[in-house]
Amino acid sequence: MEFARVREFESPLEKYLAEMIKDWGEKYVLPYRREFDEDWKEHRYVEPALEKLMVDYGFQIAVFPEEFGGWGFGNSDYFGSVTARLMEEIGRYDTGIAVSVGVTFWPLFMITVKPHVNYDLCAEFSQLFARKKLTIAANAMTEPQGGSDIENLDELKGKTIRTTAVLEGDEWVINGHKLWPTNTGGVADLFGVVCTTKPGEADEKHFTYIYVPATLPGVKQGEPYRKAGMAADKNSDIWFDNVRVPKYYRAWGEGLDAKYFREIITTGCLGSAAMALGAMENIYEILYEKCSELRYRGKPLKENTAVAAVLADIAAEIEVSRAAVYTYARMLDRPDIYGERYSAEMVARGRALKLKVCDVCCDVARKAVDLLSHYGIDRNFDIEKHWRDVKMIQLWMGGRQLCQMDVARHFYDCKQL
Amino acid sequence: MMRAKLDPLAELRSDTAEMITRSIKEWAEKEVMPYRHEIDDNFEISERAMKKLFVDIGMQKLIVPESAGGAGVSFDELPPIVYHSFSEIGKADAGIGFVLSALVASSASAIGSEAFDFIVDRLSSSFCRISIMPPQFGNDDFRGFELAKAVEKGDKVRIKCYGRPLNSGFDADVFVVFCNYDGVSLALLDGEEVERGEIVKTAGLIASRNCDVKIRAEVEKSRIIKGDAWKRLEVYLNLCLSSLCVGSAMDSCRIVGDWAEKRFIRGKPLKDNTVDAEVLGEVAKEAIEANMAAQFLAKTMLEDRSDDEIHALSKITALKCSRAAFNVADRAMELMASQGYAREGLLEKQWRDTKSIAALLKQQHSLLELSERFFASKLWEG
C-alpha cells in the first residue's frame, strides 16, 4: 500500500534509490535486525550492513558534486526530496542505520550543497569518502553543560559553546568536550565540530564550524553509551585536546558558518521526520500482517471494529505525515520559491515538521504495541524495537521543547523566549 | 525532587503493612539498587533478589496460613498490604513486582477452594513462581479470546492449550490456566506438566522470563477452581499492577526531579523554566492521580461490594495507573532527552517496564469490557 505522495514532484533519482535500498534492506538488514540490540557495542551485524550500503552500493560519496566522484544530489533541484526518500527508505529497515547514514552526510552538507559548495574542502574530503572502505562522519555539537543550546542559535547565538577554536598561524587549535554525537564511540573518521572563537560571547561571528579528522593527535572518543534502543547508532563522549587542523578546514568563515549551520537544523529536522515516517510504514506493514493472522472474537483481529478504528488512526497518521514530509522536502528543493534553507522561516517549518511527525510516530508505535499486547512487547515481532528506537528521534536535536520554542518564535513572533 | 507526598488513606494504614514496607525498602536498597544498571542483562541478579523477596521476606507466603509457616493474611488485610508493598517494589524493579503480582493474585484466587492446599504446599516448600495462562488470541469462546480446553475424563480433567502465558512461562513452578470447565474456571498445574519453548525476548519486565507453552495435562478435579475465582484473580492482579505502577511513577518523578534541579538552561534550573515546569507539573499530576486511584481501589476492596463492581473498578484502575506510569516516564524522558534514554539514567527501564505492563493489560479489549458493564453493550452475545 502506497501512502500519500505527490507523484509529479518525485525526482528522477528517487525511484532508483528506493529500489536499491529495498534490495539492500531485504538482504543485509532484515535477516539480522533482531540481533542489533545485543550488538550495540560491537556492531558485528550493523557494520557489515552499513558497509554494504555505503561502499558497495556507493552511497558514501553520494553527496559530493559529480566532479569529485559524487552523485551531486546536493547540487540538484531535488536535494530535499532525495534526502527525505533516503531516510524514509532506510528508516523502514532500521532508524539507527538511517541516522548513521544521515549523520555521515550531515556535516558534509555545509560544504557540498549549492549555493555554498566549498570546492577546496570537497577536493580534500571527497578522497576520504571515495575510498572502498567504510567512511563515516559525525556532527559534534552537543556539550555537557548546555545540551542542545548550541542549536538554539536565534536566541543564544553561540553564547554557551565552550569548545574553543584559536587561530595560531595557519592552524586552528581546538579544545573541548562533546557529548552524544551519532557515529562516535570509535565509528567516525571525520568530525564537523561546532566551536567558538570567543567563549561566552553571543555573536554569530564567533560561531565556528571546523572539520577534524578523527585520527589526529588529541582527538579521543569514549566508549559508546548503552541506550534503550537505536543500537545501530553509537554515541559517546569526544574530547579535543589541542587538536590542530589547517586553517582552511573551517567550513566558511565569520558569520557564514552560523548562517549555513542553520541548514544543519533544517536538514536534520527533515531527515528525522523522514526516518520516523519510514519506521511508521514498517509498523504498518507488520500490523497488516499480524492483524490479519491473529484472531479475536472469531475473526481476524483487523475485522473487529474497535481494532479497525485504531488501525485506521495509524494509517491516517502515516498518510498525513508522508504528505507533510514531502511538502517540506519539496520546499527545501526550491529555495528560489520558498526562501533559503537556512532562513528562520525554513528552520521553524522544519522544527514544526519534526515536532509533529515525531509525536505522531511515537504515538503510532505506542498504539501498535498496545494492539498486539504480549506480541507487541515481543522482540520477534519488531514493533517494540521501532517503539524504542523512534523515541530517540523525538528526543534528539533539542527534543520537543526546543522545537516548540522555535515554532512559537516564528509563528507568533515571540521575542523573549 | 518531589516535595509533596500523598499520605495513604486512613483505611490503608496498618502495622503489618508498614513492617512489610520497611523490609521491602531495605531489600531494595541492598538487593536491587546497587545492581539496577545491570539487572536487565544478568538474570541471576533478579533471581537472587526475587528469592530474598519471595522467601526470606516472605512475600510468597502472605496468604499461607500461619500453621504452614506463612503470614496468614486475610482478605481484610490483604489490599492495604498489597498497595503498600507493591508501590514500594515498583520504585525498585517493576519486573520483579510483575512476577510477584501473578503469584499473589493466583494464590488469592485459590483461598476458600479445594485447590488452596495445592497452592499452599507449593508456596510453603521453596522459592516459587506462578505463571498465569490467560485466554489466548484465537476463537471467540470467552469475551473474544480462546480458553484452554477442559474435558472431564473420569475423576480427572484433561487440560489442553497452546500459547503464551502472562508471565514467567519459562521459570514457573505452577501454572494457573483459564479453562472452559463449567463456565470459566482456573486449573492449577504443576510446572512439570507444561512443555515450554525458548525464552522470548521482550521490551521490558526482564525478571519475568516468558516463553510459549504447550499444555496437555490431566489434573484432579480438586485442582480446578470454579465460579468467580478468575474475577478475584484479575482483581488482585489489577491491584498489584496498579500499585506497582504507582511505585514506578514515583520513581520516575524522583529521577526527573533530580535532573530538573541540577540541569541549567538559560541560567536557571530546568524546573524554573515554564516550558519544562509545565511538563513536570503534568508528570506530578499523573503520578498523584495514579496513586489516588490505586488507594481508592485498595480501600474499596475492603468494603462490601459486588464482585462485578470491584472487578470493573480494578480494571479501570489498572488501565489508569499503567498508562499514567508510562506517561510519567515518557514525558520525563522528553525533558531528560538523551540522559533519559541512556541505560545509566534508569528512567528508560521504568519506561520499558511500564509500557510492557500497559500492553499486557490489553487496553482496547479492557475498554470493551467496561462498555459491556457500564453501557450494557452486548458484545459477546450470539
Residue B2 has pLDDT above 70, yes or no: no
DSSP code of residue A25: I
Contact B355/A296, CB-based, under 8 Å?
A: no
Give the torsion sign (CA, B324, B328, B331, B333). Answer: negative
Residues of A in contact with B337 (CB under 8 A): 147-148, 395-396, 398-399
Do residues A55 and A134 lie in contact, with contact meaning Cβ atoms separated by under 8 Å?
A: yes
Helix (H/G/I), strand (E/B), else coil: B202: strand
For residue A149, report the phi and psi dihedrals to the nearest 5 degrees: -50, -30
Do residues A85 and A17 lie in contact, with contact meaning Cβ atoms separated by under 8 Å?
A: yes
pLDDT tens sequence across A75-99? 889 999 999 999 999 999 999 999 9
Residue A10 has pLDDT above 90, yes or no: no
Fold held by B229-375: Butyryl-CoA Dehydrogenase, subunit A; domain 3 (1.20.140)
Q: Can you tell me the distance from the alpha carbon of B174 to that of B156, in angstroms, rounded to the nearest whole number?
A: 18
Q: Which of these ranges, A3-17, A25-39, A142-156, B144-158, has the smallest mean pLDDT?
A: A142-156
DSSP code of residue B123: H
Residue A7 has pLDDT above 90, yes or no: no
Q: Which pLDDT does position A297 carry in this prediction?
A: 81
Q: Which pLDDT does position A146 carry in this prediction?
A: 67
Q: Which pLDDT does position A394 carry in this prediction?
A: 96
Helix or strand run (H / E) with residue A195: strand A190-196
Residue B133 has pLDDT above 70, yes or no: yes
Chain A residues 147-186 with CB within 8 Å of chain B:
147-149, 179-180
For residue A172, report the phi and psi dihedrals to the nearest 5 degrees: -90, 135
Q: Which of these ranges, A17-31, A141-155, B41-55, has the smallest mean pLDDT?
A: A141-155
B359 closest CB neighbour out of A146, A377, A404: A377
Q: Which pLDDT does position B141 carry in this prediction?
A: 78
Q: What phi-psi label fits residue A297: left (phi over 0), alpha (psi between -120 and 50 degrees) or beta?
A: left
B364 closest CB neighbour out of A295, A310, A392: A310
Interface predicted TM-score (ipTM) of this complex, two decimals: 0.93
For residue B183, report the phi and psi dihedrals to the nearest 5 degrees: 90, -140
Do residues B239 and B79 lie in contact, with contact meaning Cβ atoms separated by under 8 Å?
A: yes
Chain A residues 114-143 with CB within 8 Å of chain B:
142
* Confidence bin at B1 (pLDDT 50/70/90): low
The closest of A270, A223, A351 to A99, measured between CA atoms, is: A270
Q: How far is CA A381 from the centre of its chain?
A: 25
- Nearest 5°: the CA angle A113, A116, A119 is 85
Kind of pairing between the strands at B194-200 and B210-220: antiparallel
- Mean pLDDT over B41-64 rounds to 96
**Helix pair B274-300, B78-92: axis angle to 10 deg:** 150
Query: Cis (ω within 30 of 0) for the bond into A115?
Result: yes
Give the torsion sign (CA, B124, B125, B127, B132). Answer: negative
End-to-end C-alpha distance for chain B, whole angstroms? 54
pLDDT tens sequence across B150-173? 999 999 999 999 999 999 999 999
B144 closest CB neighbour out of A296, A391, A405: A296
Q: Which pLDDT does position A5 carry in this prediction?
A: 84
Dihedral angle of Cα A323, A326, A332, A335, to the nearest 10 degrees:
-70
Structure-model confidence comparison of residues B139 and B245, the more confident one: B245
* Closest chain A residue to the Cα of B143, Cα to Cα: A297
How many other C-beta atoms lie within 10 A of the C-beta of residue B287? 28
Domain ranges of chain B: 10-128, 131-225, 229-375
CA distance A102 to chain B (A): 18
Do residues B135 and B147 lie in contact, with contact meaning Cβ atoms separated by under 8 Å?
A: yes
- Mean pLDDT over A240-267 rounds to 96
* Closest chain A residue to the Cα of B274, Cα to Cα: A417
For residue B159, report the phi and psi dihedrals to the nearest 5 degrees: -110, 130
Question: What CATH number belongs to B10-128?
Answer: 1.10.540.10
Q: Can you tell me the distance from the alpha carbon of A84 to that of B55, in angstroms, rounded to the nearest whole number?
A: 56
A225 closest CB neighbour out of B144, B342, B356: B342
Q: Can you tell me the distance from the alpha carbon of B1 to that of B174, in angstroms, rounded to the nearest whole number?
A: 41
Q: Which pLDDT does position A11 carry in this prediction?
A: 85
The identity of residue B351, as a single letter, is W
Q: Which pLDDT does position A8 carry in this prediction?
A: 85
* The three three-digit cell numbers of residue A233, written as one number: 547508532
Chain B residues 301-360 with CB within 8 Å of chain A:
330, 333-335, 337-338, 340-344, 348, 351-352, 355-356, 358-360
* Confidence bin at B75 (pLDDT 50/70/90): very high
How many other C-beta atoms lie within 10 A of the C-beta of residue A241? 12
- Mean pLDDT over B119-131 rounds to 95
**Interface mutation target, options A373, A391, A397, chain B, most CBs of B under 10 Å:** A373
Contact A296/B337, CB-based, under 8 Å?
A: no
Domains of chain A: 7-129 (1.10.540.10), 138-249 (2.40.110.10), 256-411 (1.20.140.10)
The CATH homologous superfamily for domain B131-225 is Butyryl-CoA Dehydrogenase, subunit A, domain 2 (2.40.110.10)
Percent of chain A with pLDDT over 70: 99
* The three three-digit cell numbers of residue A140, written as one number: 559534534
- Nearest 5°: the CA angle B182, B183, B188 is 75
Residue A51 has pLDDT above 90, yes or no: yes
Q: How many CA atoms lie within 13 A of B19 on its CB side?
A: 8
pLDDT tens sequence across B320-353? 999 999 999 999 999 999 889 999 889 999 999 9
**Interface mutation target, options A99, A236, A377, chain B, most CBs of B under 10 Å:** A377
How many other C-beta atoms lie within 10 A of the C-beta of residue B45? 21
A391 closest CB neighbour out of B200, B341, B344: B341
Q: Which pLDDT does position A157 carry in this prediction?
A: 86
CA distance A327 to chain B (A): 27
A371 interfacial to chain B (CB closer than 8 Å):
yes
Q: Can you tell me the distance from the alpha carbon of B225 to that of B223, in angstroms, rounded to the nearest whole number?
A: 6
Do residues A262 and A153 lie in contact, with contact meaning Cβ atoms separated by under 8 Å?
A: yes
Q: Which of these ranges, A99-103, A339-343, A413-417, B263-267, has the smallest mean pLDDT?
A: B263-267
For residue B136, report the phi and psi dihedrals to the nearest 5 degrees: -105, 165
Residue A45 has pLDDT above 70, yes or no: yes
The identity of residue A349, as a single letter, is R
